Amino acid sequence: MPVDAPWTRWIEQNEQALIDRLREAVEIPSVSGEASYRPHVHRMGQWLHDQLVKLGAEIRAVNVGQQELEGQTLDLPPVLVGSLGSDPKKETILLYGHYDVQPALMSDGWKHEPFTLTHDKETDRLYGRGSSDDKGPILGWLNVIQAHKETDTEMPVNLKFCFEGMEESGSEGLEELVVKETKGEFKDVSATCISDSYWLGTTKPCLTNGLRGLSYFSVSISGPGADLHSGVHGGVVHEPMTDLFALFSKLVTPQGKILIPGINDKVAPLTPEERKLYEALDMTVADLEGAVGGKVVISDDKVDALMARMRYPSLSIHGVEGAFSTPGAKTVIPASVKGKFSIRLVPDLEPEEVGKLVEKYLEDEFAKLGSKNSFRVEMLHGGKPWVSSVDHWNFRAATKATELVYGQTPNFMREGGSIPITLTFAEALGKNVMLFPSTSAVSRARSRTTKADLLTHSSRLVSVAVGRGDDGAHSTNEKLDKSNFITGSIALGQYLHEVPAAAAAAAAGEGQQQ
């Protein structure tokens, strides 16, 4: 049965006004990664603050400090923290989203001015930076709140808000704030809903219940006092590059098998139930080949390929610092090089534990080389994997809402990437966290690969590609299908309406799991 209520009708009937509000948001180029755009990020924070207040929410713009960027000291954009409603008889849902965006220039290959929302009537798509990531989803919540207000419909839950402006640049200052607010604003939170991800494919709704963690390593090998000429010293000295290649060739096989003892043993075993989840997923090996832009998918089996991404660890060699890296031909012997690689983590792999295993293994293997060069390995940073049971009332409510609004049972999926703040919410609040995408994968634009982006996002890079093959040209054109914006808003709202019953049933003891 389709959802039909005064508030849903109001959303459908006021579609144009809601698109116009999205247009206002997109027109503010709140790029968090570039110093010159920082005033716009603050302006965007103010705009969102005012919108929420106008809808009756109590909002604080929390100053989370400063940062050094491009040689300047900049105020970090405020984190908007607040609430709507405080009825002790209702569940309290914490909503997370971000109002900053990735950079975008016409010269990157946009068809339309990226900071002007362009409604393509033919495809009924809304093009513009932030339309999908993540202004669209945030405004989806505003749509829901306004619809209830305009139609005098009582909100079924209390809401808490946590909207940041630094997500594209490492979420600086956010973790400390969340931890602090666990005893404050977020004290009574029953569950968290993050709407900053995407469906796996283009047609099948998804709920995300897992993310891989990360351990990132830098291995330094040094010998000579300065770069040498390979004519003069080639053959005379132990070369750091030779040692590095010998060492890194022992990390992983071309088939992706990690060779570091102890890593694979610690992966939680696959259950038949879990395997069924991957079999049900709306993606083929051909889709994956399209996503990566080449026929280089290791496994020809869809389930194996998806599990390699979602539930098994992986090791990637990213590059070498200190060696010759530009076009042309230099005959240099680099004196000191740093090899960089990282391992994606899944339960039950802990970053610290993985760090110890890697350190021990590389030290043993380096000793075997019999080189007089010096060697050092350090773990630059680590993030734990996150997996939530989909058997929690939070997921049940979203499942029910999805079934009602889209007429389909959602796929449950785990992400290959890492969104550290998810784990912070889960651990700091001790309550269930769910990623509730309201937008299809292809709506997300390719992002610049800033460090922050790469460490916090998996969404955009895959979204570029799904169904696009290697057509990178369009990947810049971030858009949101109007249907995702309108129907997506209704799905988010319906989820809130399903929370009370789902929570009550769980409280009554039906398979509650944390």
Active site positions, annotated: 100, 167
164/156 Cα distance (integer angstroms) = 25
- 470 touches its own copies by CB under 8 A: yes
How many of the chain's residues bind its own copies (CB under 8 A)?
99
Q: Which of 55, 179, 267, 369 binds its own copies (CB under 8 A)?
A: 369
Q: Which long-range contacts (CB under 8 A, 24 or more apart) does 230-239 make?
A: 230/331, 230/332, 230/333, 231/331, 233/333, 234/333, 237/333, 238/371, 238/372, 238/373, 239/333, 239/334, 239/373
Q: Which is nearer to its own copies, 224 or 467 (CB)?
A: 224
- 308 touches its own copies by CB under 8 A: yes
The residue behind tokens 């283009």 is 202
Q: Which is nearer to its own copies, 47 or 312 (CB)?
A: 312
Q: Which two tokens stand for residue 291?
A: 């996503």
Residues 20-49 that bind its own copies (CB under 8 A): none
Q: In Å, what is the CA distance from 199 to each residue of 173, 207, 327, 336, 389? A: 28, 8, 39, 44, 19
Q: Check: CB of residue 210 under 8 Å from CB of residue 418.
A: no
Supply the minimum distance, in Å, between the C-beta of residue 62 and its own copies.
Answer: 28
- 451 touches its own copies by CB under 8 A: yes
Residues 115-134 that bind its own copies (CB under 8 A): none
Residue 395 zone, left/alpha/beta (φ > 0; ψ -120 to 50; rest): alpha
- 291 touches its own copies by CB under 8 A: yes
- 328 touches its own copies by CB under 8 A: yes
> Tell me, what amino acid is at 210?
G
- 64 touches its own copies by CB under 8 A: no
311/385 Cα distance (integer angstroms) = 10
Q: Which is nearer to its own copies, 275 or 318 (CB)?
A: 318
- 268 touches its own copies by CB under 8 A: no
Residues 175-214 that bind its own copies (CB under 8 A): 212, 214
372/367 Cα distance (integer angstroms) = 10
- 514 touches its own copies by CB under 8 A: no
Q: Which long-range contacts (CB under 8 A, 24 or more apart) does 355-360 make?
A: 355/215, 355/217, 355/379, 355/382, 357/260, 357/261, 357/262, 357/263, 358/215, 358/217, 358/260
Q: Check: CB of residue 298 under 8 Å from CB of residue 314.
A: no
Q: Which of 77, 97, 165, 313 binds its own copies (CB under 8 A)?
A: 313
Q: Which stretch binds its own copies (CB under 8 A): 30-38, 110-118, 289-297, 487-495?
A: 289-297
- 305 touches its own copies by CB under 8 A: yes
Q: Which is nearer to its own copies, 297 or 390 (CB)?
A: 297
Q: Which is nearer to its own copies, 90 or 457 (CB)?
A: 457
Supply the minimum distance, in Å, between the C-beta of residue 288 and its own copies.
Answer: 6
193/401 Cα distance (integer angstroms) = 14
Q: Which is nearer to its own copies, 29 or 223 (CB)?
A: 223
Residues 70-99 that bind its own copies (CB under 8 A): none
- 384 touches its own copies by CB under 8 A: no
- 297 touches its own copies by CB under 8 A: yes
Beta bridge partners of 207: 412
- Please, which residues have CB within 8 angstroms of residue 346's CB and are 6 or more apart in sequence? 212, 213, 267, 268, 311, 312, 313, 385, 387
Q: Which two tokens stand for residue 459?
A: 């969404």
DSSP SS3 for 155: coil
Q: Which of 6, 39, 65, 294 binds its own copies (CB under 8 A)?
A: 294
- 355 touches its own copies by CB under 8 A: no
Write the binding mask 407 to 446 for its own copies: x where contact by CB under 8 A, - elsewhere: --------xxxx----------------------------
Q: Which stretch binds its own copies (CB under 8 A): 72-80, 260-268, 337-345, 495-503?
A: 337-345
- 367 touches its own copies by CB under 8 A: no
Supply the minimum distance, in Å, between the C-beta of residue 76 and its own copies.
Answer: 20
Beta bridge partners of 272: none
Q: Which is nearer to its own copies, 280 or 298 (CB)?
A: 298
Report the length, in residues, of the chain: 514
Supply the minimum distance, in Å, between the C-beta of residue 215 and its own copies.
Answer: 11
- 327 touches its own copies by CB under 8 A: yes
Q: In Å, what is the CA distance from 41 to each residue of 35, 75, 116, 314, 333? A: 10, 10, 16, 35, 45
> Tell me, what amino acid is at 217?
F
- 230 touches its own copies by CB under 8 A: yes
Q: Which of 66, 325, 408, 483 binds its own copies (CB under 8 A)?
A: 325
Strands (DSSP E) contained in 45-197 are 58-62, 66-69, 72-75, 79-84, 92-98, 118-120, 125-127, 158-164, 191-194
Q: Which is nearer to its own copies, 55 or 292 (CB)?
A: 292
- 153 touches its own copies by CB under 8 A: no
- Please, which residues have CB within 8 angstroms of residue 86's CB and are 6 or more apart in sequence? 158
Q: Which of 15, 227, 353, 359 binds its own copies (CB under 8 A)?
A: 227
- 295 touches its own copies by CB under 8 A: yes
Rounded to the nearest 10 degrees, how much is the dihedral formed by the CA atoms of 271, 277, 281, 286?
10
Q: Which stretch binds its own copies (CB under 8 A): 160-168, 230-238, 260-268, 393-401?
A: 230-238
- 362 touches its own copies by CB under 8 A: no
